[in-house]
Structure 1
C-alpha cells in the first residue's frame, strides 16, 4: 500500500463509517432506538473503527516515514563518503603520487645507492597504498545491511588465496548478532589489514582465521606460518598498518595482541566479557 493510499484511507474511513451508520440508523433502526442513544452509538462505533483500522494505518505510515528517513540518512552518508573519497583522491593521493615520482627521480640520481632514499620510497608507497585502500573503502555503501557482512568477511581469504596461492582455513563461530554495526566495520577492516600484512611481509604459505564467542565477549584470530612480526614491530615507525590496527582496537575497547606461537605469527583481537 502506497503512502498516498494510506493518507486517503485515514481521511475517508471515519467519514464512511459515520455515513453508513446514519444510513442504517435512519432506514432500519429509527423505530427501535432514541435519538440520544443513536448519537451515543455513533460515537462508540467511530471510536471502535478508529482503534481497529486507523491505528494500523498510522503504524504503517510511521514505518514508511521511518524507512524514508533511514533511506535519506543512508543516501546522505554515501554522498558524504563519496565526497571524502574524492577529496582524498584529488588531494592526498595525488600529492603522494607526485612525491613518489620525485623520490624515484632522486633515487635514480644516486643510482639507488642511498639506503635512506630507498626506505623513504618504500614508506611513501605504503602510505599511498593505505590512502587508496581508504578511498576504496569509503566508496562501499555505509549501511551494514547493504552488503552481506559474512560474505564480505569470507571473501577476504578467498581473494587472498586467488591472488597469492596462500591457503586459508576458515573457522567462524561468532554470530553477527554478537557485534554492533560499528564493530562489524572495524573488525572487517582489522582482518583485512592483517591479511594485507601477511600478503606483503610474511612469505606465508598457509593461514588460519578463527572467531568464537567467549561468554559475553568474543575473540578473532588470524595466524600464518610465515616469518611475520613480533610485538616490537608495532613501535617501528614504518609499520603504519600495524599501528592503525592497534589504534583501531584501542578505540573500540578491544585487546590487541601480535605474537609468535609455535612457529606461527598470531594476530588476535579480543573483546572481554561485559560486566
Structure 2
C-alpha cells in the first residue's frame, strides 16, 4: 500500500507501480481526486478508482461515476469499504473479460471478412475459368459438330438420314444456346465495357423474361471502377433482379446508379410484396447475406429497406477514394 499526498508523487507511483485499486480522497490540500483520475486516464490505466469524501454532494458523486470512476463511498460509511473494493475488483474483472472477448470477436470477424473476400475472388476466378472453357472447348466442339452435320446434309439424299440430321442439328443448336447462356451467367464479356453497359445488359434480359419495364437512371455515362468494385456492383444488381423475378414479378422496378462525391451508390427498388422482418434471418437466406459480405470486401456496405405490401429497396454504397491494397487486386 502506497500513499501520495501530492499530484507529482501520485504520478510517480502510477508510472512505476501497478496497483489493484486506487482510493482517492476527493479533496486534498494540493490536488483532488478528479486531478488524480485525469492522470490515470492519461496513462491509459484500467485500475479500479474509488472516490472517498465526506463533503462531496450527491450530484458531484454521480458526475464522477459518469466520467468513469468505479465507485464512490462517503467517509461516514467506511465500514463498507471492504465490500466496495471487492465490488470494484469484480466489476473490473468482468470489464476486462468483456474487452478481451470483444477483441477476440473483432479479430474473428476480421478473419471471416478476409476469408469471405478470398472466397469471392476464388469464385469469380473459377467462374471466369469455366466461362473460358465453355467458350473455347465446348462451344468450339459444338460448332464443329454442327458444321459436320451441315456437310452430311449437303452430301446425302436419304430422307430418313436427313430427318436424323435435322433433329441432331436442332439439338446441337439448343446445346450451343445453353452453353452461351451458362457462359454469360458465369462471367459475361460485357463486364469489360464497364458497369453501366453491364447493368443495361442485365436490365434488357430482365425485361425480355418478365415483360416488365425497368427505370434505369445514372449520374454519369462513364464510370471507371476497379474490378472488385465493378463485380460487387454487378452481382448486387444481378441478385436483386433475380429476387424480384422470384418474389416481386410484375412490380415496378427502379435502378439508380451514382458515383458522386467519390462514393458509388447503386439502389435497386421494387413495389413488390416486401420482406418480413424475419426474412433475412432464415437459415438458408444466403443471397442477400452474401451480398452484404461481398460489399464488406470492398469496404462498402449494403442496406436493405423493406415494408410488407410496399416494396423493397437494396442500396449498395462503396467509397471510391480508399487506398485499401486489397482493392487493387484484379478480379477476373
TM (norm. structure 2) is 0.39
- Structure with the largest fraction of helix: 1
TM (norm. structure 1) is 0.46
Structure of greater Rg: 2
